[in-house]
Amino acid sequence: MKMTRGFIAAMLCLILAGCGKGLDANPDFSTIQAYKARIDQDFAAAKPEEAAAFNFAVANLSYEQYKQQYSGTTYRKAARTELEKYLALLQAQLAEAEKQNLNSKREMRSCPKSGWKF
């Protein structure tokens, strides 16, 4: 009896996991038309700010890239992963800019005094 309850509970969890709404649903990549229909349906249940965040996060991905990288994941997870990549890129760019700024300041200090104030 315990085995049957455990099995039923596990099956219900699996069924419910596939019944997400909005950004917690998985896209349908069977065809482009199916994807468009599903995303329209899922985004009707999403908050406008969530939809905007998703669109921003995946704006640089084509349908094929999105399908290849995120097949089997929710819209939310795909968006979060892309935003994390974007933030890492921005942090790297900021670190490089700060390094260049420091180098520029060092170079300016080593220049002979020309009346300029740095």
Could you state, in order of their start, the residue ranges of all structural domains in the chain? 20-107
Q: Find the radius of gyration of the CA atoms of the chain.
A: 24
Residue 105 pLDDT: 76
Structure confidence by residue, pLDDT tens digits, 29-76: 999 999 999 999 999 999 889 899 999 999 999 999 999 999 999 999
- For residue 109, the Cα-to-chain-centroid distance in whole angstroms is 43
Q: Cβ contacts of residue 80 below 8 Å, gap of 6+?
A: 57
Two tokens, residue 101: 């700024």
When mean pLDDT is compared across 3-12, 31-40, 86-95, the lowest value belongs to 3-12
How far is 101 from 98, CA to CA, in rounded Å? 5
Token look-up 């220049």 returns 111
How far is 110 from 118, CA to CA, in rounded Å? 11
Residue 116 pLDDT: 59
Q: Residue length, the chain?
A: 118
CA nearest to 25, candidates 17, 36, 14: 17
- For residue 9, the Cα-to-chain-centroid distance in whole angstroms is 31
What are the phi and psi torsion angles at 115 (to 5°)? 90, -10
What share of the chain has pLDDT > 90, as a percent? 52
